[in-house]
Structure 1
Amino acid sequence: MATTMTVKGQVTIPKKVREALRLAPGDSVDFDVNREGQVVVRKAAGKGRATRDRFDAVRGKATVKWRTDELMALLRGND
């Protein structure tokens, strides 16, 4: 399974490897080099998903009930 490295040093982990390691978007991975010079890729233990969606923390927290026309007037500077 060959892949090409980008100018930024990024590579795509082949689907077969992602499936074998049960990797999903947002998962952390560890890279090591063994004594033979082979690269070992592991799913990072205990790290799981990086972070929740940035909007999840504030979803449903608004206390002001804006009407669309009132908000648009405020944003446009219409009194």
Structure 2
Amino acid sequence: MIKQSNLTVKGQVTIPKDVRDALGLKPGEPVEIDWQGGTEALIRKPIRNEKADIEAYKARVREVSRRFAHLREGRPTDEIMREIRGDDPFPP
């Protein structure tokens, strides 16, 4: 099946809807462009590596957990908020 689309001045190409649907492409998802040499390129949906995705997600969770470890100290929320704000906005 051959489809045709125009190149915009910004170098963008619209992938026809029936092709997007057939590939299961959603807005914002990456696509792979494999230059075949000469005047030919292949556009495809990348094959996802779920194991790598899970490991990357776990790494992000560990980093967030590390950054906010001080919030797990069992201190009252009011005390933490006073520390963050630098003073007590509601003095006793």
Q: TM-score, normalised by structure 2?
A: 0.44
The structure that has the greater radius of gyration is 2
